Amino acid sequence: MKKIEAIIRPEKLDVVRQALEESGYPGLTITEIEGHGMQKGAFQQWRGEKYKLDFLPKVKVEIVCIDKDLEKIIQTLIESTYTGNVGDGKIFVYEVEEVVRIRTRERGERALV
Ligand SMILES: Nc1ncnc2c1ncn2[C@@H]1O[C@H](COP(=O)(O)OP(=O)(O)OP(=O)(O)O)[C@@H](O)[C@H]1O
Ligand SMILES: [Mg+2]
């Protein structure tokens, strides 16, 4: 199993949530985060004054999936978040050792979805 961690634009969360559900993954974890990538933040203007924002608000979406669904989920995430502008986000993939559904005590893939 794999854990996919996607850092996305907050305004894309709703469409991502819907796309994941349609791909058979209704379960997910989200966290409101701040971060920056290559551009190290952004300049903004307020009442004519330019100022630098070192960190920008993003949402982190975590989904654990079975190995054979990994590419499908990555494609789903790309298609639902791409704008072509800087700051579109990033996807990180990790190996997952075990999953337990507490209610049923199911383990592994059976406990996923
Ligand atoms: N190397 C990294 N390690 C951890 N988090 C990262 C890394 N790069 C980006 N992030 C996270 O992803 C968010 C979005 O990054 P962003 O899309 O700006 O990446 P980028 O590499 O600058 O690409 P782009 O040039 O398209 O903007 C950042 O706000 C940060 O939270
Ligand atoms: Mg960037």
Mean pLDDT by 10 residues, the chain (113 residues): 98 98 95 94 90 95 97 98 97 98 97 90
Count CB-CB contacts under 10 A for residue 83: 11
Q: What is the pLDDT of residue 69?
A: 97
CATH number of the domain encompassing residue 63:
3.30.70.120
How many Å lie between the centroid of ligand 1 and the Cα of residue 106?
A: 36
Instruction: For residues 46 and 98, give the distance between their C-alpha atoms in angstroms, rounded to a whole number.
Output: 48
Q: What is the pLDDT of residue 105?
A: 98
Instruction: For residues 101 and 108, give the distance between their C-alpha atoms in angstroms, rounded to a whole number.
Output: 9
Closest residue CA from atom 25 of ligand 1: 86
Does residue 41 line the site of ligand 1, with CB under 6 A?
Answer: no
The total number of structural domains that make up the chain: 1
Closest residue CA from atom 2 of ligand 1: 37
Instruction: For residues 108 and 90, give the distance between their C-alpha atoms in angstroms, rounded to a whole number.
Output: 26
* Amino acid in the structure at residue 80: S
Q: What is the pTM of this model?
A: 0.93
What residue numbers bound the domain in which 69 lies?
Answer: 2-111
Q: What is the pLDDT of residue 35?
A: 96
Does residue 60 line the site of ligand 1, with CB under 6 A?
Answer: no
